[in-house]
Amino acid sequence: MSEFAGFPIAGPDFYEDLEADNSRTFWAANKHLYDEAVKRPMTALVADLEPGFGPAKIFRPYRDVRFSKDKSPYKTHQGAVVHTAPGVGWYVQIGAPGLFVAGGLYAATPEQLTRLRTTLDDDVRGTELEKILDELVRADYTLGGDKLKTRPKGYPIDHPRIDLLRHRTLVSSREFGTPGWLATPRTATEVRRSWETLRPLVEWLGAVVGT
């Protein structure tokens, strides 16, 4: 039986306050809220989803500030990812804006990017991805990712999939905000349904860029 009961509204509230005061003093005084309203339900959620999608990695709440001008010590959201291939998988996040789900290619090596573009250049396989993305857009998902401002080398500017060829990462996502069901077990149902909707994209990308 699942132990997931939802994300208490104290979770988004905690992150709203953390955005205003991202200090070790605030964190120490409110870590119990993170543990109870964020970490514990996220751990239960990914355990609930594991049979259908695989084990998840829950990200640490601490920022790596070694090479960043922003020295804020804490992330202002909690995320978890299920990898299906290097750089590819499903994602779920809770933060001040509420619940966020996504799936796709989050990071690509040069070799993976070459494989992706070669496949996109193919009229059959490239059209497959276009159809998958069109279905996601119709289901109210947003297409995003890091893109080149111009065309990649070796591809004409009038290529029928030039916009997709510009992508260095490719992610489809949906914002749910803080609906009334966020604090109930229904959240697991909504995330599961979303990840299933994203499955064709995740599996297509995994087949193309996976090892």
Note whether 172 and 102 are within 8 A (CB): yes
Residue ranges of the chain with pLDDT lower than 50? 1
- Position 2 scores a pLDDT of 67
User: Where in 86-186 does DSSP place strands (E)?
Assistant: 88-95, 98-105, 142-144, 170-177
Return the structure tokens found at 194: 């979303």
Using one digit for the tens of pLDDT, what is the confidence trace for 134-174?
999 999 999 999 999 999 999 999 999 999 999 999 999 99
pLDDT score of 66:
81
Contact 144, 202 (CB under 8 A): no
Q: Where are the domains of the chain?
A: 10-209
Q: Which CATH superfamily is domain 10-209 in?
A: Protein of unknown function DUF1054 (3.30.930.20)
* pTM: predicted TM-score of the whole model, two decimal places: 0.94
> Residue 23's beta-bridge partner residues?
none
